[in-house]
Amino acid sequence: MRKLISYIKARMEQAEHKPRLGGLDILKYIGPGLLVTVGFIDPGNWASNIAAGSEFGYTLLWMVTLSTFMLIVLQHNVAHLGIATGLCLSEAATEYMPKAVSRGVLITAMFASVSTSLAEILGGAIALNMLFEVPLILGALLTMVFVGVMLFTNTYTKVERSIIAFVSIIGLSFIYELSLVDIDWPQAMVGWVKPVIPNGSILIVMSVLGAVVMPHNLFLHSEVIQSRQWNLEDEKIIHKQLKYEFFDTLLSMIVGWVINSAMILLAATAFYNNKMHVTELPQAANLLIPLLGKSASVVFAVALLLSGISSTTTSAMAGGSIFAGIYKEPFDIKDNHSRLGVCISLVVAFVIILFIRDAFKGLVISQMVLSIQLPITVFAQIYLTSSTKVMGKYVNRKRTTALLLIIAAVLTYLNVLLFMSFF
């Protein structure tokens, strides 16, 4: 009788954990991709895109297209790792790579997380200053504390829902902004597909790249995708996971492409066409007042604040995931290693902010730092997902590995161009 009860109970639990075949089943998978989307529509990204649009018009739109394509491939691949192995990128690196190599990858990744948090916190502080004239340092402190409280007191699901709501508001804000200006769509179409690197633009190019394809997001996606897992011993469920994860990633990255493009389009139309050079985010908002009306400036500041809060949350989560992975642990906000990783990401970023004099330049440079670390993370990811020992039957196909290596080579080449520009 006990065996029969245990069998029935096990079957019921299995049924509860299997995804249904309904047409709306994909909605269960929407979330992890949007968390990643928040990561690359952060304040640092705003600064890079506004600089790109105000200085070079529609010319650098192609970088958004290229970066988004890279992002789709990389994020899908790293989510594939999380689903197939049950490990995040940080855990897998610690488990399967030589210790000296994995520590080098993860320590630099923590620097990338700090650099990201710096931009996010600074963006929130700038928004508070624009809206309420709060001093920059105080605004940074308030942003950091608010995010810390939200992370340490809420469940992952609540955080995820809040961030999805923020993304929706940010997206609607930029759609509203675009409705107020006249876009030269034929010129924009050319800009999206024609690669051009104007003289003096390499820093902005790398900032746009680092603002879209962000290393901490690769770690975060491989972690949060596991919140959607059911029974990983059932191959049918794994295949279903992989299929729906791709839809989530593709949808989310397209949303990010639209929002990032909107930033450059807005800056190109409002500033570049009027020969106005933007050197700080508050200046961008003030310049919008005579061009688009006072409401546009308010919308800009509110969206920036929401972006700062939501992206600070994701960068801190990534920091917690990276640090916990060093100890072969998954992200868990109740665990001391995860908490320490979150605190390092937030507190170190805040301390650096205390010494920053030019906030706008600091935002742009922080994104450049991400682009420099990115190839390190990407090569580590390729090594892991191309290993049969790690992935088993879900190892990369040869053409997938080849595509990933091409992306890594392009990232490395752009970094070489960046270094050469300093000499």
Give per-residue pLDDT as tens, 188-201. Answer: 999 999 999 999 89
CATH at residue 226: 1.20.1740.10
Percent of the chain exceeding pLDDT 90 equals: 45
Task: Look up residue 330 and give its DSSP letter.
Answer: -
- Residue 40: what pLDDT? 62
Q: Is 389 among the domain residues?
A: no
> Which pLDDT band holds residue 129 (cuts at 50, 70, 90)?
very high
Give the CA angle between residues 113, 266, 261 to the nearest 5°.
Answer: 55
Q: Which residues of 391-416 are buried (b: 16+ CB within 10 A; e: fewer)?
A: beebbbeeebbebbeebbeebeebbe
What SS3 state is found at 365? Answer: helix
Instruction: Supply the DSSP string of 231-291, one letter for each residue.
Output: -TT-HHHHHHHHHHHHHHHHHHHHHHHHHHHHHHHHHHHHTGGGT----SHHHHHHHHHHH
Region 392-398: mean pLDDT is 94
End-to-end CA distance of the chain: 79
In whole angstroms, give the CA distance from residue 306 to residue 141. Answer: 16
The amino acid sitting at 370 is L
**pTM given for the model:** 0.84
Region 407-418: mean pLDDT is 90
Q: Is 247 among the domain residues?
A: yes
Q: Is 381 among the domain residues?
A: no
24: CB partners within 8 A, 6+ apart: none
Region 74-79: mean pLDDT is 93
CA 47, 120, 283, 263 torsion-angle sign: positive
Q: Centre a 10 Å sphere on the Cβ of residue 241 and count the other Cβ atoms it contains.
A: 24
Give the closest residue to 373 by CA, choosing from 152, 209, 228, 205: 209
Q: Is 11 among the domain residues?
A: no
Is the pLDDT at 8 greater than 50? The verdict is no
In whole angstroms, give the CA distance from residue 53 to residue 273. Answer: 10
In whole angstroms, give the CA distance from residue 420 to residue 175. Answer: 38
Q: Is 285 among the domain residues?
A: yes
Give the closest residue to 142 by CA, choosing from 161, 129, 160: 129
Q: Is 57 among the domain residues?
A: yes
Phi-psi region at 347: left, alpha or beta (left = phi > 0; alpha = psi -120 to 50): alpha
20-24, 74-78, 362-366: least confidently modelled range: 20-24
In whole angstroms, give the CA distance from residue 262 to residue 266. Answer: 6
> Which pLDDT band holds residue 394 (cuts at 50, 70, 90)?
very high
Residue 271 · residue 278 · CB < 8 Å: yes
- Residue 186: what pLDDT? 95
- Residue 92: what pLDDT? 97
Look up the domain containing 205 and give its range: 27-373
In whole angstroms, give the CA distance from residue 59 to residue 197. Answer: 8
- Residue 9: what pLDDT? 43
In whole angstroms, give the CA distance from residue 129 to residue 76. Answer: 37
Q: Is 34 among the domain residues?
A: yes
The residue with greater pLDDT, 258 or 343, is 343
60: CB partners within 8 A, 6+ apart: 52, 53, 191, 196, 198, 201, 204, 205, 208, 264
Q: How many domains does the chain have?
A: 1
Burial class (CB in 10 A: 0-12, 13-18, 19+), 283: middle
The residue with greater pLDDT, 145 or 3, is 145
204: CB partners within 8 A, 6+ apart: 48, 51, 52, 55, 56, 60, 364
In whole angstroms, give the CA distance from residue 423 to residue 418. Answer: 10
Region 365-392: mean pLDDT is 93
Is the pLDDT at 4 greater than 60? The verdict is no
Burial class (CB in 10 A: 0-12, 13-18, 19+), 422: exposed
- Residue 284: what pLDDT? 79
> Which pLDDT band holds residue 110 (cuts at 50, 70, 90)?
very high
Residue 113 · residue 318 · CB < 8 Å: yes
Q: Is 32 among the domain residues?
A: yes
